Amino acid sequence: MATNTKDPNAAIGLEGGPSVAATRRAMLGEFWYYFRQNRGAVVGLVVFVLIVATAIFAPLLAPYNPSTQIRGALLIPPVWQEGGRWEFILGTDAVGRDILSRLLYGARFSLFIGLVVVTLSVTVGVVIGLIAGYFRGAVDTIIMRLMDIILAFPSLLLALVLVAVLGPGLLNAMIAIALVLQPHFVRLTRAAVMAEKSRDYVTAARVAGAGNLRLMFKTILPNCTAPLIVQATLSFSTAILDAAALGFLGMGAQPPTPEWGTMLAEAREFILRAWWVVTFPGLSILVTVLAINLMGDGLRDALDPKLKRS
Amino acid sequence: MLRFFLGRLAVLIPTFIGVSIVAFTFIRILPGDPVMLMSGERVMSPERYAELNQQLGFDRPLWVQYFDFLGGVLTGDLGNSIVTKRPVLNEFFTLFPATLELSLCAIILAVLIGVPLGIIAAVRRGSWLDQSIMGAALVGYSMPIFWWGLLLIILFSGILQWTPVSGRISLLYYFPPVTGFMLVDSLLSGQEGAFRSAVSHLVLPSIVLATIPLAVIARQTRSAMLEVLGEDYVRTARSKGLPPRRVIGLHALRNALIPVITTIGLQVGVLIAGAILTETIFSWPGIGKWMVDSVFRRDYAVVQGGLLLIAGLIMLVNLLVDVLYGLINPRIRH
Amino acid sequence: MTSKLTFAAILMAATAISGTAAAKTFVYCSEGSPEGFDPGLYTAGTTFDAAAHTVYNRLLEFKPGTTETVPGLAESWDISEDGLEYTFHLRPGVKFQTTDFFTPTRDLNADDVLFSFERQWQDDHPWHQYVAGASWEYFNGMGFPDLIESIEKVDDMTVRFTLKRREAPFLANLAMPFSSIVSREYADQLEAAGNEQLMNQQPLGTGPFEFVAYQTDAVIRYRAHEDFWNGEQAIDDLVFSITPDASVRYQKLQAGECHLMPYPNAADVEAMKSHPDLKVMEQEGLNVAYLAYNTTQAPFDNVQVRKALNMAINKEAIVDAVFQGQATPAKNPIPPTMWSYNEEIEDDPYDPEAARQMLEEAGVTDLSMKIWAMPVSRPYMLNARRAAELIQSDFAEIGVDVEIVSYEWAEYLDRSRAEDRDGAVMLGWTGDNGDPDNFLHTLLGCDAVGGNNRAQWCNEEFEDLVVQAKQVTDQEERAELYRQAQEVFKQEAPWATLVHSLSIVPMRKEVEGFVQSPLGDFAFEGVDLVE
- Interval C458-505: pLDDT, tens: 999 999 999 999 998 888 999 999 999 999 999 999 999 999 999 999
For chain A, the average pLDDT equals 84
Of the residues A68, A273, A278, the best mutation for testing chain C's interface (the one with the most C CB atoms within 10 Å of its CB) is: A273
Of the residues A47, A149, A162, A242, the best mutation for testing chain B's interface (the one with the most B CB atoms within 10 Å of its CB) is: A149
- CA–CA separation, A13 vs A26, rounded Å? 13
Residues of chain C with pLDDT > 70: what percent?
A: 96
How much is the CA Rg of chain B, to the nearest whole Å? 24
The closest of A160, A181, A167 to A238, measured between CA atoms, is A181
Any chain B CB within 8 A of the CB of C417?
yes
Sheet holding C158-163, edge to edge: C74-79, C85-90, C158-163, C148-155
| Contact across the interface for B37 and C452, Cβ inside 8 Å | no
A165 neighbourhood in chain B, CB within 8 Å: 26, 29-31
Count CB atoms within 10 A of the CB of residue B240: 8
Residues of chain C with pLDDT > 90: what percent?
A: 67
Any chain B CB within 8 A of the CB of C141?
yes
- Predicted confidence at residue C151, as pLDDT, reads 96
For chain C, the average pLDDT equals 90
Q: What is the pLDDT of residues B291-316, one digit of tens each?
A: 998 888 778 889 999 999 999 988 88
- Predicted confidence at residue A20, as pLDDT, reads 67
Contacts of C among chains (3+ CB pairs under 8 A): A, B
Residue B284 and residue B331 in one domain: no
Q: What is the pLDDT of residues C188-246, one digit of tens each?
A: 999 999 999 999 999 999 999 999 999 888 899 999 999 999 999 999 999 999 988 88
Q: How many CB pairs under 8 A join A and C?
A: 17
Q: Give me the residue spans of the domains in chain A.
A: 37-309
| Contact across the interface for B177 and C251, Cβ inside 8 Å | no
- Predicted confidence at residue C495, as pLDDT, reads 95
What 8-state DSSP symbol labels residue A106?
A: H
Any chain C CB within 8 A of the CB of B76?
no
- Predicted confidence at residue B246, as pLDDT, reads 66
Residues 229-268 (A) with a CB less than 8 A from some CB of B: 237, 241, 244-245, 248-251, 261, 264, 268
What 8-state DSSP symbol labels residue A85?
A: B
Q: What is the pLDDT of residues B137-181, one digit of tens each?
A: 999 999 999 999 999 988 888 788 888 877 888 877 878 788 888
Residue B118 and residue B206 in one domain: yes
Q: Which domain holds residue B270?
A: 88-296
For A305, the 3-state DSSP assignment is helix
Higher pLDDT, B261 or C121: C121
Any chain C CB within 8 A of the CB of B83?
yes
Prediction pTM value: 0.81
- For C359-484, strand residue ranges (E) read 368-372, 401-405, 424-430
Residues 220-259 (B) with a CB less than 8 A from some CB of A: 223, 226-227, 230
- CA–CA separation, A206 vs A202, rounded Å? 6
Which among B31, B40, B43 is the nearest to C417, CB-wise? B43
A75, closest residue in chain C (CA to CA):
C267
The CA–CA distances, whole Å, from C515 to C237, C282, C518 equal: 18, 11, 9
Asked if the model's pLDDT at residue A309 lies above 70, the reply is: no
The closest of B95, B216, B204 to B158, measured between CA atoms, is B204
C442, closest residue in chain B (CA to CA):
B42
For C529, the 3-state DSSP assignment is strand
Phi, psi of B160 (to 5 degrees): -85, -20
Contact assessment for residue B175 and residue B182, using Cβ atoms and an 8 Å cutoff: no
Of the residues B36, B42, B281, the best mutation for testing chain C's interface (the one with the most C CB atoms within 10 Å of its CB) is: B42
* Lowest-pLDDT choice from A95-104, B181-190, B255-264: B255-264
**What are residue C242's DSSP bridge partners?**
C30
Any chain C CB within 8 A of the CB of B46?
no
Mean pLDDT across B102-116 = 94
Residue B214 and residue B322 in one domain: no
Any chain B CB within 8 A of the CB of C230?
no
**Torsion angle of alpha carbons B201, B203, B205, B208, nearest 10°?**
-160
| Contact across the interface for A269 and C268, Cβ inside 8 Å | yes
Q: How many domains does chain B have?
A: 2
Q: Which residues, other chains included, contact B132 with Cβ-Cβ below 8 Å and sequence gap of 6+?
A: none
Residue B138 and residue B166 in one domain: yes
Any chain A CB within 8 A of the CB of B65?
no
Residue B134 and residue B156 in one domain: yes
- Predicted confidence at residue B250, as pLDDT, reads 62
Q: What is the pLDDT of residues C153-182, one digit of tens each?
A: 999 999 999 999 999 999 999 999 999 999
- CA–CA separation, C365 vs C361, rounded Å? 10
- CA–CA separation, B210 vs B108, rounded Å? 8
Any chain C CB within 8 A of the CB of B166?
yes
Q: Which amino acid is at C143?
A: G
Q: How confident is the model at residue C404 (pLDDT cuts 50, 70, 90)?
A: confident
| Contact across the interface for A289 and B142, Cβ inside 8 Å | yes
Residue B226 and residue B107 in one domain: yes
Which among C217, C409, C452 is the nearest to B43, CB-wise? C452
Any chain B CB within 8 A of the CB of C10?
yes
- Predicted confidence at residue B68, as pLDDT, reads 86
- Predicted confidence at residue A304, as pLDDT, reads 67
| Contact across the interface for B147 and A281, Cβ inside 8 Å | yes
- Predicted confidence at residue C475, as pLDDT, reads 87
C265 neighbourhood in chain A, CB within 8 Å: 269
C254, closest residue in chain A (CA to CA):
A272
Asked if the model's pLDDT at residue B207 lies above 80, the reply is: yes
- Chain C nearest C-alpha distance from A269 (Å): 5
Q: Which residues, other chains included, contact B135 with Cβ-Cβ below 8 Å and sequence gap of 6+?
A: A40
User: What CATH number should be reported for the domain whose range is A37-309?
Assistant: 1.10.3720.10
Contact assessment for residue A2 and residue A227, using Cβ atoms and an 8 Å cutoff: yes
The CA–CA distances, whole Å, from A89 to A101, A272, B133, C18, C299 equal: 10, 20, 33, 55, 51
Residue B101 and residue B246 in one domain: yes
- Predicted confidence at residue B331, as pLDDT, reads 57
Q: How confident is the model at residue B334 (pLDDT cuts 50, 70, 90)?
A: very low
Q: Which residues, other chains included, contact A82 with Cβ-Cβ below 8 Å and sequence gap of 6+?
A: none
How much is the CA Rg of chain A, to the nearest whole Å? 23
Any chain B CB within 8 A of the CB of A198?
no
C247 neighbourhood in chain A, CB within 8 Å: 268-272
Contacts of B among chains (3+ CB pairs under 8 A): A, C
| Contact across the interface for B283 and C413, Cβ inside 8 Å | no
Which among B16, B146, B314 is the nearest to A264, CB-wise? B146
Q: How confident is the model at residue C280 (pLDDT cuts 50, 70, 90)?
A: very high
C134 neighbourhood in chain B, CB within 8 Å: 85
| Contact across the interface for C267 and A270, Cβ inside 8 Å | yes
- Predicted confidence at residue C5, as pLDDT, reads 38
Q: How confident is the model at residue A102 (pLDDT cuts 50, 70, 90)?
A: very high
ipTM: 0.86
Is the Cα dihedral C196, C197, C200, C202 positive or negative?
A: negative
Residue B191 and residue B247 in one domain: yes
Question: What CATH number does the domain containing B140 carry?
Answer: 1.10.3720.10
- Chain B nearest C-alpha distance from C76 (Å): 31
Higher pLDDT, C386 or B92: B92
Which among B141, B226, B295 is the nearest to A161, CB-wise? B295
Any chain B CB within 8 A of the CB of C251?
yes
C409, closest residue in chain A (CA to CA):
A167
| Contact across the interface for C248 and B42, Cβ inside 8 Å | no
Pairing relationship of beta strands C25-30 and C158-163 according to DSSP bridges? unpaired
Which among C133, C218, C414 is the nearest to B285, CB-wise? C218
- Predicted confidence at residue C161, as pLDDT, reads 96
| Contact across the interface for A165 and B144, Cβ inside 8 Å | no
- CA–CA separation, B23 vs A129, rounded Å? 24
Count CB atoms within 10 A of the CB of residue C185: 20
Pairing relationship of beta strands C25-30 and C237-242 according to DSSP bridges? parallel
Asked if the model's pLDDT at residue C7 lies above 50, the reply is: no
Any chain C CB within 8 A of the CB of B39?
yes
User: Helices marked H in chain B — which ranges?
Assistant: 2-29, 34-39, 46-55, 62-74, 88-123, 128-141, 145-152, 182-189, 194-229, 232-239, 244-246, 253-282, 287-297, 300-328
Any chain C CB within 8 A of the CB of A269?
yes
Contact assessment for residue C374 and residue C426, using Cβ atoms and an 8 Å cutoff: yes
Mean pLDDT across A44-57 = 94
Query: Which of B37-51, B241-255, B280-294, C502-516 has the highest average model confidence (pLDDT)?
Result: C502-516
Residues of chain B with pLDDT > 70: what percent?
A: 92
